[in-house]
Amino acid sequence: MNLPKEYLQTICQQAIAEDVATGDATTLAIVPPNLHTSAEFVNRQQCVCAGMPLLEILFKELCSDLELDCLVEEGQLCEPGTVMAKVEGNARAILTGERTALNFLQRLCGIATLTRKYVLSLGESNCKVLDTRKTTPGMRLLEKYAVKMGGGQNHRIGLYDRIMIKDNHRELAKLLGPDSISLAVKACREKYPELEIEVEADNLDEVKAAAEAGVEYILLDNMSAQTMLEAIEIIAGRAKTEASGNITLQRMPSLSRLGLDFVSIGALTHSAPAIDIGLDIKK
């Protein structure tokens, strides 16, 4: 996933404006205006690196003379105590940007690190880990980027790039007739023939209806392992399968043996713990 420069600049400008507003009072009072210094980003716990391209733009927004030297690669596993990056230049600008930079880096590294755990839990399975749309408003591209850095794959980015017929869609589609899944799929094919279609199925009857409707993906929602096995047998290769709902790390090894194509996990973005990373001024 490419992160557009304009998007990164906008989100950095908004974050700086939120934190700084009329000025960094403490730094402006204490730090001489022309003082030059350097600082290091050091992780206190093992993590997967994600977010350095954002930090580069953030510091340039604060001061064009600041230089960020990234010492690890995006997606790299970093052991505790790793110097992930160094920033050098105007001391006021570095201190003003410290918390915003850490907020971004800790958040994105947290998502990448949790994603890596889920990916590794699948072992040698061909099943792939997907994210969801359960992201922080305004930060979706960043958070989905972090999932990629952790070895996961992106589901649809938004409502526009894949048809996904969920339970509430099916309820309203019943106004069209009794065979709501078939009618909903037909309506979507006619309106958006270029988009792939996924149907969320809560039971085996809905799995059968979705498979017969010829969709590309069927989401097996909150199903037991046994029910998913039966669903995969019914689908018989006619659509890709995706497990979702109540997916935990503990369940992943057993899911890896079912023959699923994908497992989607909202927790990658809505519940990933921040990584403990510090910014240490070098005297």
3-state class (DSSP) for residue 22: coil
How would DSSP label each residue in 170-227? HHHHGGG-S-HHHHHHHHHHHH-TTS-EEEEESSHHHHHHHHHHT-SEEEEES--HHH
Length of the chain: 283
The CA distance from 57 to 151, in Å, is 24
| H/E run at residue 245 | none
Task: Name the DSSP letter for residue 242.
Answer: E
The CA distance from 199 to 210, in Å, is 6
The CA distance from 33 to 91, in Å, is 8
Residues annotated as catalytic are 99, 134, 166, 200, 221
Backbone dihedral region of 100: left (phi > 0), alpha (psi from -120 to 50 degrees) or beta?
alpha
Task: Name the DSSP letter for residue 75.
Answer: T
The CA distance from 1 to 145, in Å, is 6
Distance of CA 202 to the CA centre of its chain: 25
Q: Phi and psi of 281, rounded to 5°?
A: -70, 135
